Structure 1
């Protein structure tokens, strides 16, 4: 017989010798008679508080007439829980019990022994209903005693508390009884669908509870485990989310979406290595899974597997040509392989399509690292960001209320997320430490969500400290305006997670760009930019566009304070090995194919030389493999190359003990790396260009009297490096005297630099006051 034609089962609890109601005495129903008394010959003998012989979800309905009142009050919930356990999803329980409220009227009349009604076991009086059938109890059947009672309200409550829903209780005064119909647990799929509806509606907590009920009743229901993990992730309960998705995967490992979800969660949690196998399996199971391909690309990119990441992003774009994040990242991985001509168009197309200020700000920043675009094109990208993201904020600018008094104490606000262990510390902390607090009130606005011992140094030297990482752009601009900041100094520019949209609201009368972004921003609300005669020559030669007025400091752009626990200067490696060791500790994005071609030319022309590269990416197998392949194409043997990981300060400075000459990056010169190399006694060969970031080395080296080490072309750069490498005596002298040279130079004249910077602040404030 097919399942559809099989009769439904009804459990007749406390059946005695009474028949079921007529409705259930049909071929559609199969009765299972259950009673505590073997004498009535039930199918199963047992107590309703422990129906162990019945499996979970094994009956379609329960009929229980005049049974619950025989239990002690604390036993009632146990019996009802058993009812609910043995009911199939969607099943019904029908419960009949005496109605104590109806009996109350009879009791009030004083007639306790007169017949209320006749039953199959004889005449029933009030005493029989209250305390149990007297004749049965007298015959030794003590379980027939009544030990609890119900009103309609209490029966409704007990059934609801047991998990039945909905519950309907009907009073039958003529029979002095209550009739309840109670729906058992919903069908699993009905419950699952309710969870999905709550999930879709964004009611995360409700959805999580419903999915939890599904898996509690059906532990093998892997879709509920998966969806429960997803809503826990939305509720920011990441550990629980990962555990639930892993449970789904353990039950059913061949569902692509589960593999993809776990991979995505692991990737976001900073575990790209753990994410990889799950994402790879996801795309094997479902080659059309766009987001799985995308997240696989991200995980591979995080591991430095840029060629494999490229394949994943191309797979995404094949399936979905409008997936702009994949296009953006494809541009990134092509750039990481020194394929700028291919990568830049992808990156540009994505930034045009993604209307997000942080994505938009990446494009101008990226162009500063690239050789291909002209200086005018780089500046135009900055201006485009201004037009697209800053110009629309003009209506939010409020007229300043700052008193236009040129001589009063000024409030200077420094805006940064780098008041911590970051390169900014080497150049800004000495300024904060040397500020004249009688003339200037120093306010630091810190928008990172962590602090360290360097943060505490900044905090100690500030007159006012504001942790503002949790303030949105409007709130932060309002706070700066309310604090009465006279001059706001933005230290972030286009760097990661910048606050240019705060700067665009012009919360201070005068706004200045400095340090974190050493180039013209193109931002109309930034009035000035700290600079010097080398970064911004006057008149400019070559002419370089700038949206801000350069404030040229005679001391130079940088004010350097090395780490107090820097390693000592080492001996010249050339004297130990007989070979010149060139080195670069510049970050990986600053390295490009034309630069590496120049380095290969230096190595080719000086056979007794090697090259050491240390940064956070290039030491990894895939990234260094690309570099090695390129150098080998250019005729440089792998044995002449060394790659090292980039560690924490000051430990990584030990690398300079093995470097004779540092080779600067181009077109984005080093800033911190150049200063650190010089402090460790290592001369730096730099190349300058037109854009401001290509003139940082020119500024630093001129400040320390080594301007002759700056080249103005690729050929000159190679020749300068070779000339220095062939002058061992000069290398030794520089090694021994470099620290003294720096200490006596404007680069490290910290108090003088700060006084000059303050004078510039005062001068631009006077200009603002005069305009008022």
Structure 2
């Protein structure tokens, strides 16, 4: 009789392997792991030239089962946030070399989950070295750069590669839209990305919000076009989402036109966000002897602005944890008479709560300076100024215009301004034009105008100040516009960079607002060309309020001619620079008490209109 297994090793290995399979079928993974470890130990590593090499196929089968078991246990532990056992099982993977791409991917995922970007990057790159078309590793590497490494420029090609491999991930298309928006300024590509995300998931609110924000930067749309796109975009979204089922509340209202009013402000930007610097001085200036005020912050941020300023606001409510229905119920229970939405479609907004009509009068202000595109009757008014809209443009808004003068007040309460510097052109002998706006606001038409200005003033420089940008993509846009790159310098943003700038060039179609006011605070005037839509007129409105109409152009040609003239007359810029900060301080833009009084009068008139209806 021939003994096929004289030592009994094969039989033992098979027995332990089958025992492990039985444990796995009964969902006893840890028990299975113990049996597999014993089975694997029965056969030494053949590299040591010991043991029966005929056992190697069985040994490899057991190794594969071991790795699968360790991966399964690790995934379960990571999902349950049980990191200590997860680390133990992950470390055991190294006992059964070589590491598989699946093992490397899970190691990267673990470090991503724990927030260790450098380690996550290392393992995802190892996966891609072994398998260049591993779509999920490409996506996770992009997420690592974007969320953990704060490196949007390196994230962009990862996401672009991912969608080439796998074209059905709405979240990645949404992130791509965001990156194209901020890193390259390619607004058309950005809008296509958001549209693609919504094709895959029509009720994807974040993508819909981003699309609505992006529409305002599309210079192929006039105000009529923005209105049409906004309405069709919102109608499509509401038809596919649960928000479309929200219906107006029914309640009894005391229609006394002169009674004390309760004003509610809803905002997702009550933290270190530009909108805060408009809302805060206004809210602090409200005369609480005349009205009651409640504030609803839907932001999860808890930065120094929240702790030092927002927490001190009258009637502050932190409502990030409430959904739209719960928030509407709270606003209604608080008996708000006029609800002012200062979120629009910014991140963490609760604008859809307005569909439940929690207040008799609902108003749009500040964050989204255009029509919401929501069904008629949801938002009653949009606060504007007389030079921001024309009477005939009311046809392109579902909200009625209510004018303020000025449109806003502004104060960076948490910022101490540096002294205004001497005009740099007087020392350098040439003028430096500054650009501080988002890349998405810089249209091709704007770039072409800037290229023309630089060609007429060849000794001048254009300083582009952005924290992060995809320079190769931006460079292509500059070259296509005819921009002389030798006259362009790129700087990371800091307030001190205003000291290097003689004149800021505003963007067309969507002008600056906060950037313009910051520039003026640092003594730098802003050359602007008011456009044929509300968002394109804000720079001109600010200049008019300050008596700086000389910096408002009436055409593209006038814009270029003014830039060239100021570049050749630096002494004029120097004179404006010396008085600019005081001019701003003495203006209505810096008088929150007067502004709040005018705003309260506007609310009273809205209420009287409501009571008469």
1:298-697 pair list within 5 angstroms: 298-299=143-144, 303-305=151-153, 309-310=156-157, 312-313=158-159, 315-332=161-178, 336-342=183-189, 344-354=191-201, 355-390=203-238, 393=244, 395-459=246-310, 461-524=312-375, 525-540=378-393, 545-553=396-404, 555-563=405-413, 565-618=416-469, 623-632=470-479, 636=483, 638-646=485-493, 652-697=494-539
- Cα distance in 2, alignment partners of residues 763 and 609 from structure 1: 51
Larger radius of gyration: 1
Offset of 1:548 from its aligned partner? Answer: 0.8
Alignment counterpart, residue 726 of structure 1, candidates 562, 565, 568: 568
- Cα distance in 1, alignment partners of residues 449 and 81 from structure 2: 49
Offset of 1:754 from its aligned partner? Answer: 0.7
- Cα distance in 2, alignment partners of residues 682 and 612 from structure 1: 13
Q: 1:300 to 1:483 in 2, by over 3 A?
A: same
Offset of 1:384 from its aligned partner? Answer: 2.2
- Cα distance in 2, alignment partners of residues 530 and 587 from structure 1: 24
Deviations 1:420-458 (A, max 9, x none): 222122211111111011121111111222323422454
1:48-67 pair list within 5 angstroms: none
Deviations 1:615-656 (A, max 9, x none): 2213xxxx234334544565655553332223xxxxx22211
Q: 1:671 to 1:267 in 2, by over 3 A?
A: farther
Offset of 1:518 from its aligned partner? Answer: 1.6
Contact 1:358 1:498 in 2 (8 A): no
Offset of 1:506 from its aligned partner? Answer: 1.5
Offset of 1:666 from its aligned partner? Answer: 2.8
Contact 1:624 1:643 in 2 (8 A): no
Q: 1:519 to 1:285 in 2, by over 3 A?
A: same
Q: TM-score, normalised by structure 1?
A: 0.67
- Cα distance in 1, alignment partners of residues 226 and 106 from structure 2: 39
Offset of 1:253 from its aligned partner? Answer: 6.1
Contact 1:674 1:697 in 2 (8 A): yes
Larger relative strand fraction: 1
- Cα distance in 1, alignment partners of residues 380 and 504 from structure 2: 36
- Cα distance in 1, alignment partners of residues 195 and 459 from structure 2: 42
Contact 2:194 2:210 in 1 (8 A): no
> Which stretch shifts more, 556-565 or 407-416?
556-565
Contact 1:215 1:224 in 2 (8 A): yes
> Which stretch shifts more, 564-573 or 395-404?
395-404
Offset of 1:534 from its aligned partner? Answer: 1.7
Offset of 1:488 from its aligned partner? Answer: 1.1
Offset of 1:212 from its aligned partner? Answer: 5.7
Cα RMSD (Å) of the superposition? 3.4
In structure 2, the partner of 1:174 is none
SS class of match (1:711): coil
Q: 1:722 to 1:245 in 2, by over 3 A?
A: farther
Q: 1:416 to 1:253 in 2, by over 3 A?
A: farther
In structure 2, the partner of 1:75 is none
Contact 2:197 2:204 in 1 (8 A): no
- Cα distance in 1, alignment partners of residues 497 and 460 from structure 2: 17
Offset of 1:531 from its aligned partner? Answer: 0.7
Larger relative helix fraction: 2
Contact 1:562 1:679 in 2 (8 A): no
SS class of match (2:537): helix
Offset of 1:2 from its aligned partner? Answer: 7.6
- Cα distance in 2, alignment partners of residues 239 and 686 from structure 1: 59
Contact 1:228 1:244 in 2 (8 A): yes
Q: 1:440 to 1:376 in 2, by over 3 A?
A: same
* Structure 2: 5+ residue stretches without partners: 38-62
- Cα distance in 2, alignment partners of residues 339 and 462 from structure 1: 39
Pick 1 or 2: higher relative contact order, CA cutoff 8 A, min separation 6.
2
Q: 1:740 to 1:338 in 2, by over 3 A?
A: closer
- Cα distance in 1, alignment partners of residues 177 and 256 from structure 2: 51
In structure 2, the partner of 1:289 is 134
In structure 2, the partner of 1:753 is 595
In structure 2, the partner of 1:201 is none
Contact 1:424 1:516 in 2 (8 A): yes
Offset of 1:245 from its aligned partner? Answer: 5.0
Contact 1:248 1:258 in 2 (8 A): yes
Contact 2:227 2:371 in 1 (8 A): yes
Contact 1:253 1:259 in 2 (8 A): no
Alignment counterpart, residue 124 of structure 2, candidates 273, 279, 301: 279
Deviations 1:259-304 (A, max 9, x none): 3344456557666665444333323433453323333445566634
* Structure 1: 5+ residue stretches without partners: 10-27, 29-56, 61-87, 91-186, 196-209, 647-651
